[in-house]
Amino acid sequence: MPLLTAKSRRALRLSVAGLALATTWSAAAWAQLGPLQPAQPQMAPPSTTAASAGASGGSAMAIAAVVNEDVITVYDVQSRVQMFMATSGMENSPEMQRRLVPQVVQSLIDERLKLQEAKKLKIATTDAEVRNAVDLIEQNNNMQPGTFRRMMDEKGVDMTTLLSQIEADVAWLKVVRQELRRDVVVAPEEVKTVLARLTANQGKPENEVSEIFLPINVSTRDADVRQLAERLVQQARTGTPFAALAQQFSQSPTAAVGGDLGWVLRGEMEDEVDQAIARMEPNEISDPIRTNAPLGYHIVQLRGRRASGEADPLMAVITMSQIYVPTIGSRAPDAAKQQKILEAVSTKVSNCDQMNELAKEVGGPGSGPIAPLRIGMLPEKVRAGVVGLPVNRVSQPIELTGAKVYAMLCTRQDDSGLPSEDQIYAKLENDKLENVARQKLRDLRREALLDVRM
């Protein structure tokens, strides 16, 4: 089943339920970027910016591209380049701006195509949907409401460029959901094949990897591509988010999600890349890796290493009973009573029925049985106190602010390390839907009347 191999996972990995199935710099990608970088120096004057330098004519309102009946101006390109430079943490230089222009122009073309397709299908976006996307960006960057807009204003970035991008992403997501989803079918045999494959590979080492791929083709020289790869490695190693670089420069479909390939087994990547990863440590970024099939340079970031299908103790589903003893306030028992509770828990309790009875007698509010939940959902200190606890054994006193807790696990269902059939079905459906969406966008590009002038 090729859908879950690393080579085929160079399909978009955005969830159907997410903000967008998008190309470069989707609203979801903004949200995944993490904390925004401190303010960068302002863009160079218009006469020396990449956008104006490459455009026909010097005016910001000159035409950069025509997409069917829609016009993209030099100002649109300048604004998008400026937005990226202001938020990505990349070196803000005329050279870097020039390198961004082709990707920015292609991104703007794709946005126009998405909006045109939505309009043709009578699919509209609302101001509320766009505002919600901006709110999500702020929430994921731990920003107060309105902070993002103020930051854009302070850096001289036209907020319209972000809003227009979000509008295109939201419109495209609706197109995908409403029009393209009907073309996706997942057979039960596909689910079983994937589950069998995952089971066979369980326990084998795997790596969590992000990638940037720069192809060598008839219009590029090997030396130029390698030079760009070396510059990107330098940028990534000096603090520029790898995901931001992947989204703007990588020519792999995973660029849409910051180069994220997910967890990859040895042998699923190109041989040269596999060998490089084997020598790396987690959080390390590779030197440029040249491959012949596909021809180009890879840069990989090793984000983690584990055994495939490794069970996660925090995913274990438990039922439990607890005795909550306040240690401050009017309900707190005195020291002598607290000692009696400790003795009772230690000597009279050997199962959850006894624990529940004692909880009724001596426990404070919140004492007694707890409905099934995953261990990872418990408060941090309680989680640490029970994660390795056998069933029907009382924990050591767990000290909380203003209270102590005694906990007992009644039942425990450990994580298998494998996804359920429903989860595999959803993943396969999403992968197929993303492929259909990508193919649709390629068709729109091929059928469009395009006039690119920069």
Q: Which of 48-62, 115-129, 145-159, 282-296 has the lowest mean pLDDT?
A: 48-62
- The mean per-residue pLDDT over the stretch 82-95 comes to 78
Distance of CA 64 to the CA centre of its chain: 32
- The mean per-residue pLDDT over the stretch 298-317 comes to 91
pLDDT higher than 60, residue 11: no
Give the span between the Cα atoms of 247 and 225, in whole angstroms: 17
Phi, psi (rounded to 5 degrees) for 410: -90, -45
Give the span between the Cα atoms of 362 and 72, in whole angstroms: 72
Give the span between the Cα atoms of 194 and 225, in whole angstroms: 37
DSSP state of 19: S
Domains of the chain: 10-185+442-452 (1.10.4030.10), 203-310 (3.10.50.40), 313-413 (3.10.50.40)
Q: Model confidence over 260-294: pLDDT tens digits? A: 998 888 888 899 999 999 999 999 999 999 999 88
Quick one: what percent of the chain has pLDDT higher than 90?
Answer: 49
Q: How confident is the model at residue 219 (pLDDT cuts 50, 70, 90)?
A: low
Query: Which pLDDT belongs to residue 241?
Result: 87
Name the residue type at position 372: P
- The mean per-residue pLDDT over the stretch 243-258 comes to 83
- The mean per-residue pLDDT over the stretch 63-73 comes to 94
pLDDT higher than 90, residue 3: no
Query: Which pLDDT belongs to residue 24?
Result: 32
Name the E strands within 162-294: 205-215, 260-265, 289-292
Q: Which of 41-50, 259-268, 288-297, 340-349 has the lowest mean pLDDT?
A: 41-50
Name the residue type at position 358: L
Residue with the larger pLDDT of the pair 118 and 431: 118
Q: How confident is the model at residue 49 (pLDDT cuts 50, 70, 90)?
A: very low
Structure tokens at 402: 């203003």
pLDDT higher than 70, residue 298: yes
Query: Which pLDDT belongs to residue 189?
Result: 96
Query: Which pLDDT belongs to residue 6?
Result: 47
Structure tokens at 329: 């306030």
Q: How confident is the model at residue 58 (pLDDT cuts 50, 70, 90)?
A: low
Most confident by average pLDDT, 6-10, 41-45, 95-99, 243-247: 243-247
Phi, psi (rounded to 5 degrees) for 63: -85, 125
pTM for this model (two decimals): 0.62
Give the span between the Cα atoms of 295 and 218, in whole angstroms: 11
Q: Which of 14-18, 108-112, 259-263, 403-407 has the lowest mean pLDDT?
A: 14-18
